[in-house]
Amino acid sequence: MTVYSLTTGAIFPATTPANPFSTGTLNFSYQAADNPLVIGNTLYTGLQNLFFFTADNNIFHTQGDVLSFDITNPQAPTFLDALDNTFGTSGDAEGVRSGGPNPVFDLTQADATTLYAASTTYTIQNDTTQPGGGVLRIVDISTPGSLQLVTTVPVPNTTFATAVTVVGDRAYVVGSEGAGSTRSRRTNKRGRTAASSSRRSM
């Protein structure tokens, strides 16, 4: 994680939001963090990573997770927790593998203590594919240093849930059924869904 200042640091050109100045980095030993989400003094991020052979682009391993960081001091963020942590960090006996087996594509806040994570149960481990489908993972963030999975809500007719947003008392989820097809889901906070889909030729 790289920390930037938006106001001080560079002499010329001056530091501005359009010209941020790097003030340091935090090595937290997890692979492929993406889509950061700030809630109060905590930053949450999802992990999504694919390992593949360059010779034939064959994917042999997937991984992902939800991480939390304390940003009370924005210049010195600290790692708090990983939701799954099946493989630990990339610096332990698992080598470059880190987090859990399920990629997390997007995060959004549902309420003061709840986070929604767009994810999937589809995994590839040690070159073996485990079929699955898109899911919305409901995460309790009431204690940011101890993330808890409350439940998962399947997103029918999808392989991956790739994006999620909340409007009022509805969560809208975008999912992928495969190449050239997308599906959107409208889910209320009790887990009931209604669907509409669109297909595109590729």
Cα separation, 114 vs 16, in Å, equals 33
pLDDT at 198: 29
* Three-point CA angle 34, 109, 18, nearest 5°: 50
Token pair, residue 202, equals 């590729």
Cα separation, 150 vs 154, in Å, equals 14
pLDDT at 1: 60
Residues 118, 172: contact at Cβ < 8 Å? no
pLDDT at 130: 84
Q: How many CA atoms lie within 13 A of 24 on its CB side?
A: 8
* Three-point CA angle 190, 195, 198, nearest 5°: 150
String of DSSP letters for 64-112 = EEEEEEE-SSTTS-EEEEES--TT--TTSTTTT--SBSS-EEEEEEEET
3-state secondary structure of 118: strand
Residues of the chain with pLDDT under 70: 1-28, 51-53, 56-57, 88-98, 178-202
pLDDT at 101: 85
pLDDT at 176: 86
pLDDT at 94: 53
Other CB atoms within 10 A of residue 76 CB: 12
pLDDT at 89: 65
For the chain, the structural domain boundaries read: 35-199
